[in-house]
Amino acid sequence: MEIKIAKESYNPLLKRKELSFSVKHPSAETPPRFELRQELATKLKSTLDQTFVIKLKTKTGTKEAVGEAQVYDSVERAKSIVPAHIVVRNLPPEERKKITEAKAAKVEKKPREKKTEEKKPEPAKPAGETK
């Protein structure tokens, strides 16, 4: 797996590096986000808790994927800004599976209640009236 950083910029307001990268993967499948996250963290000399792969897409018919990543200055800053679904996507497969199973079990336990609101019919307008 070969990662090439195409674009790198620093966002001082959010205190993070924003990266665009491409990765060549000679294997048949797109590499998992967690592996890319580890590779980017070592390449950029940051910790795993500060590095997040935001977007990843394989180019059709090739063995190359393009993506976006963010590297925060501190772990606290990352925790306050990165959305929960992105954090879950960047977890190792075992941890992500536990979280998704826990969410599925929580949804199964709680049956949905149907909201039945009675709609009142609108009063009929006289034939000659227009707006």
Q: Does residue 20 sit within a domain?
A: yes
Q: Does residue 9 sit within a domain?
A: yes
Q: Does residue 121 sit within a domain?
A: no
Comparing 8-12, 58-62, 121-125, which segment has the lowest mean pLDDT? 121-125
Comparison of pLDDT for 87 and 130, the residue scoring more: 87
Alpha-carbon distance 113 to 110, whole Å? Answer: 9
Q: Quote the pLDDT of residue 22.
A: 94
Q: Does residue 19 sit within a domain?
A: yes
Per-residue confidence at 16, pLDDT binned at 50, 70, 90? very high
Domain that holds residue 47: 2-93
**77-119: pLDDT as tens digits:** 999 999 999 999 999 989 988 988 888 888 776 666 666 666 6
Q: Does residue 102 sit within a domain?
A: no
Q: Quote the pLDDT of residue 48.
A: 92
Q: Does residue 82 sit within a domain?
A: yes
Query: In CATH, what number is assigned to the domain containing residue 58?
Result: 3.30.70.330
Q: Does residue 114 sit within a domain?
A: no
Q: Is the per-residue pLDDT at 127 higher than 90?
A: no
DSSP 18-29: EEEEEEE--SSS
**36-80: pLDDT as tens digits:** 999 999 999 999 999 999 999 998 888 899 999 999 999 999 999
Q: Is the per-residue pLDDT at 131 higher than 70?
A: no
Alpha-carbon distance 107 to 92, whole Å? Answer: 23
Q: Does residue 129 sit within a domain?
A: no
Nearest to 35 by CA among 56, 7, 19: 56
Give how many domains the chain has, as a whole number: 1
